[in-house]
Amino acid sequence: MGILVLGCALALSFGASVSGQDQPRVLNRVKNSAAPESTAPRLETVPFVDAHVHLNDEAMQIELMRHYGAKRAVVFWGRNGDNGSVADAVRRRPDLFIGFASISPERRTHRKAWEDQDPALLEELDGLLATGQFKGIGEISAVHFPSPGFPEADYDPAGPMMSGIMALARKYRVPVLVHVESTRMRELTSLLVAFPDVNLIWAHGGYTPLFLARRMLERHPNLYYELSARTWPRHPRSPDYTILQDGRSIWPEWLELIETMPGRFIIGTDASHRSLESERMKFESVQAFLRQLSPATRERVAQANLLGLTEPRP
């Protein structure tokens, strides 16, 4: 897994993808929203690859990446986009964006197909992956508690639709990013056992407590625990969703698990571009988290693990 270095040339390349009109506007928004300058020592910006971005505002996303050290990002649809708009963004900036294709049931157009277990939806995904424009599948919200913009979903993670998705991931040798809450551990376990050769990225780690995270990682070598939204100072849905003991410091037990299994964790922001203030919080929380890891673990969690899944060596 190659180690990429964020340098001046990459910083300059970020600006090239934003139009002449949009670039100053977005850049000023990011700069003007930053905290006032202080005499405190400047903290290191840790380069990372973002595993979880709902691409709703491309210009905002690019400027946030430039400002907070995100070298690349896994992007998939959000409320303002679809698989086509994701593919377009990847074509414009293949140096920044890693596209994932989704047929997730939170879309009204897809929910009935999930309820009917319609194979036509899997054929649609097959066609998207066949283009070669997508390096993964996701986010697939098979089991998702209700939240703003997301109606509750509760589809069997071991059922025909998820099994079909995993079969396509095996066919195209790509990872699957899946959102499954801790209420469906038995079915998720069955899926992992049935497809041991398919890498599954567990979005937010299912918001599981520590002992479940350890158990699932120990039992399933094809499972990767994705930490987006787990590094936020406070999660709006439940305060115990974060892995922080005081909004800043990682719980020692969580830190020990990550350091013990450094090849199994991936970082992300869960960016969605609803407001610049909320997005800054997400990116800043990732930086604060990564600074607490040992250098060797930091490199793997920040970028090497994810790049090894999306850009595997022949």
Range of the domain at 125: 52-310
| Cα–Cα distance, 83 to 280 (Å, whole number) | 25
Which tens digit of pLDDT belongs to each residue from 165-199? Answer: 999 999 999 999 999 998 989 999 999 999 999 99
Residue 14 in contact with residue 62, Cβ under 8 Å? yes
In a domain, 248, yes or no: yes
| Cα–Cα distance, 286 to 89 (Å, whole number) | 24
Rg of the chain over Cα atoms, rounded to whole angstroms, equals 19
Nearest one of 14, 129, 49 to 83, comparing CA atoms: 129
**What is the token pair recorded at 216?**
């699932």
Q: Is the pLDDT score of 65 beyond 50?
A: yes
Q: Is 98 helix (H, G, I), strand (E, B) or coil?
A: strand
Q: Is the pLDDT score of 98 beyond 60?
A: yes
Which tens digit of pLDDT belongs to each residue from 228-273? Answer: 999 999 887 777 789 999 999 999 999 999 999 999 999 999 999 9
In a domain, 161, yes or no: yes
- pTM, two decimal places: 0.86
Give Cα 115 distance to the centre of its chain.
26
Nearest one of 141, 136, 133 to 157, comparing CA atoms: 141
Report pLDDT for 14: 43
Report pLDDT for 19: 43
**What is the token pair recorded at 298?**
């930091």
Amino acid identity, residue 51?
A
In a domain, 64, yes or no: yes
In a domain, 178, yes or no: yes
Report pLDDT for 20: 41
| Cα–Cα distance, 167 to 134 (Å, whole number) | 16
Of all helices (H) and strands (E), which one includes residue 139?
Answer: strand 136-144
In a domain, 131, yes or no: yes
Q: Is the pLDDT score of 223 beyond 70?
A: yes
**What is the token pair recorded at 32?**
């003007």
- Cis ω on the peptide bond leading into residue 181 (within 30° of 0)? no
Name 70's bridge partners: 48
Report pLDDT for 241: 84
Report pLDDT for 302: 98
Domain tally for the chain? 1
In a domain, 159, yes or no: yes
In a domain, 81, yes or no: yes
Which tens digit of pLDDT belongs to each residue from 15-63? Answer: 444 444 454 455 555 555 555 544 556 788 999 999 999 999 999 999 9
Q: Is 80 helix (H, G, I), strand (E, B) or coil?
A: coil
Which tens digit of pLDDT belongs to each residue from 116-157? Answer: 999 999 999 999 999 999 999 999 999 988 777 667 888 999
| Cα–Cα distance, 152 to 106 (Å, whole number) | 8
| DSSP summary character for residue 244 | B
Rounded to the nearest 5 degrees, what angle is found at the Cα of 198, between the Cα atoms of 2 and 310?
30
Residue 269 in contact with residue 53, Cβ under 8 Å? yes
Q: Which residue has the tokens 């290191």?
A: 44
In a domain, 304, yes or no: yes
Q: Which residue has the tokens 């097959």?
A: 126
- For the beta carbon of residue 25, count every other beta carbon within 10 angstroms: 13
For residue 181, what is the domain's CATH number?
A: 3.20.20.140
| Cα–Cα distance, 203 to 32 (Å, whole number) | 32
**What is the token pair recorded at 241?**
């969703």
Q: Which residue has the higher pLDDT, 237 or 215?
A: 215
